Every structure is written in structure tokens, then in C-alpha cells.
Structure 1
Amino acid sequence: MSIRVVVADDQELVRSGFSMILDAQPDIEVVAEAGDGAEAVAAVRLHAPDVLLLDIRMPGMDGIEAARRVCSASGCRVVMLTTFDLDEYVYDALYAGASGFLLKDVRRDDLVHAVRVVAAGESLLAPTVTRRLIADIVRRGRTAHGVRAGAPAARLSARLSALTAREEETLRLLARGLTNAEIAASFVVSEHTVKTHVSNVLSKLALRDRVQAVICAYETGLVVAGEGEGEGEGY
């Protein structure tokens, strides 16, 4: 079964280029393209894709508002497209429910890999900015937004008590940017076991994905900005 994708960007060359690369894959199908946020939201409603590649800066309805609407009304996974790896709008995109972001100069193979990763339920952040990005969200005092709509940090703090000791440690390591493989090595268990721990964390905290779990860890004080710097890099 193919991964269904919508590509939304106000630059036609970017849209068509990404679409051509993805459509050439045997397991990926681009079901629609969109030139602005409103078109992207409409395309998701019409085609029910698995993944939406969404430009952050577009005329009319921008990518942030489009992501917020898509994530609140569907199970479609959103990956934001940006020109700069520390684009200020990336913070708002994560709070809107996006599963991560890609730079527009992404390599062909990395673009394809990203779509597959997100479609499989994982989250995607550029390796060079994972911990720095989340820590900066906290330093900017963005807690007023909450980790997700209707889930303020205080409520999530109370839910942390439902986690087992191993699940809580898994959340800490996620927040420090470690991959499943690195967490598995730290625990001396299989990656499958780590995936189970991550799934349990998301379920118990009622979070959408790993990105939201990382934000939760910082906003609830489970992990302090700057703590554990130098550990793991990767998606």
C-alpha cells in the first residue's frame, strides 16, 4: 500500500520538484499539490493523505495555521518545509502539531526517507538542531501555548506519575535527542522494546508523537534546558 502525500508550497518549482522525486518511488504516491495553506487544508480533506509536506511561509493562510487545522481534524502527519534550520516559525509549527521539519535544500534520498519515517509514525527533526530547538522553545517562554491544544503543562506533569521508571527514563533520553538505537544501547535492550516504551509514553501522556513528547519533557521540568548536552544526534 502506497504512502499518500500532498505537497504544499507557493513556489511551483519546489512543489513540482518534490512531487517528481516522491512519485518516482514505488511506495509513495503524490495525490495532490497545493499553492497555499487553504489549498493544502482542502487537499487533505479531499484526499486523506498520510503525509503533508507543508511550506511554513505562504501567502494567505500560512503553513502554521494550515498545520493547526490539519492536525486537529485528521490523522495526517505534517512535515514543515523551511529555508532556514532555525526558522522562528518552526517553534509555532511544532506547537501546531507538526511532526517535524525539513530544509528545502534537502537531498533527494533524505526527502524520501523523511516521508517514510513520518508515515511510519516517527517524528522528524534536523539532527543538528533537535535539542537546541526544543531548549530554545523553553527559553523563549512558550509554555502559554501548551504542548498541544487543551493539554497545559500542569496537566501533563500530573500524568507523568503514570509512567513507569523505565518509561520516564525513555522520555528523558528522547528529550536529549537520542535515537531509538541509542536508547536501546543505553538500556541494553532491543529497539523493539524501546519502541514499546515510546508508544506507552505517548499513550499515557495523550501526546501525538515524539516531538510533542520532547516538548512535554522540557515544559514539565523533567529535563532542564542544557542538561545532557553532547548526547545523541539524529531523528
Structure 2
Amino acid sequence: MVSPIFPTNIEKRERLDPYELKNKKIREENKNKQVSRKNDYKNLLTSPRINAHIILVYENEIELDKAIAYYINEGLNRGQLCIHATTNLKNKGYIENWSTSIANFDNNIQEGNLLLVDLTSFYIESMVGNLDSFKKLRDETVQRLNNDGNRKDKHIRLTADCATLLLKNKHFDECIHLENWWHMKPFEGSYLCPYPKSFINNYLYVAYMKRIFHSHDVVIDSDGKLHPEYLVS
């Protein structure tokens, strides 16, 4: 038997005025949206949102290579076109080591599922603000995808470290110029831009890193964990 002194849950709901009920419903919907958004961000390396421009903050090169390989492998598993664009391509032993982390590396290269782009010449041009090579890469990539009638998933996964090298070598304005161009989302897909964590607290880079953070959508670490604190400033 319920004591008449204390209202039941049903009686409490009945006593809430319509305005309070409406506000309660809105709070619950917002909470559900926040949970959903949090889950989306948690898997950014696995399932990046369309046109997500992502900063990957890493501690060391081993951690970076593993994160990029994971991001690429997930894309290959989904039948997506993946592009690994790097200034390290001609470094001795780089591809030999990195390729061992990629599933069916040789087959995916031969079948055009994975493209390797040497950014050395891109870097030299971008030092003077010339992004023509990047625009050409954009056009060729879009055309390649349009001509591929068998590829059902049109999401393109790109990793690129040219802007990282520009920042490292103190070409600050050129780095930001390039990142702003990427942020215009030149093709449908996701863009992964790696930056070493050591840049964040280095007085030489900190002011520019803040600007770079704000030309991206999200910041994650090598485990795919979201770090919204870098975007708040």
C-alpha cells in the first residue's frame, strides 16, 4: 500500500506543468545527442565522418606509423580508396617497414586501392605558397574515383604530412595556408594530418599550433581518442 503522504511517480509526472515537461524532454534529447556524438568521435580512426579534417597528435614515429596503418587498413577493409601522401617516401627503409603493417600491401597497390604519393616536390612548391601540385592531386583523385564504377564506397581516406614538415621547418604561414586549403574539403572523404605532441608546448610553435587546431574539425591521439581541449582557446 502506498502512503498518501508521498506522491507516486505517476502523480509527480501529472503535477509537472507542460513547460517543465518540455524542458525535461529537451534535456534528455540533448544528453542522447552528446552520447551519440561521443561514440562517433571515439572511433574516428575506424569510421571517420565524411569530410572530417583530423589532427592526429602523436608521441613518436612508431606510434604514428601504427595509427596511420590502422586508419588505412580500416579504409581498405571497407573498399575505400586510400592515399598515403608523405615526404618520407624516399627515406631508406621507410616503405619496407611501413608496408608490413598494411594488409595485402602489394595487391592493394596493384589494384589501385592504395596510392602512395611522394610529397617532396609538393613541399618545395608549398614553401612559396604554390599549391598547384595539391590541386592536381585532387583532380586526379576525383577523376580516378569517378572512373571506378566498381567501387561502391566513395569515401577517400587521405594522410598527408607536408604541412607538418612546413611547420617543423618554421614555414609557419605556408603551413597554415596549406591546412586552410585542406579545410575546404577538396573531395569527399576524411583527412588525417599528423603533428608531434612536442610542438604543442614548444614556444616556437604554440601560437601557430592554436591556429592550426582551429583549421581542423577534431583532434585525436594515436588511439583515436578525442581531445577537444585543444580546440578550446
Normalized against structure 2, the TM-score is what?
Answer: 0.31
**Which one has a bigger Cα radius of gyration?**
2
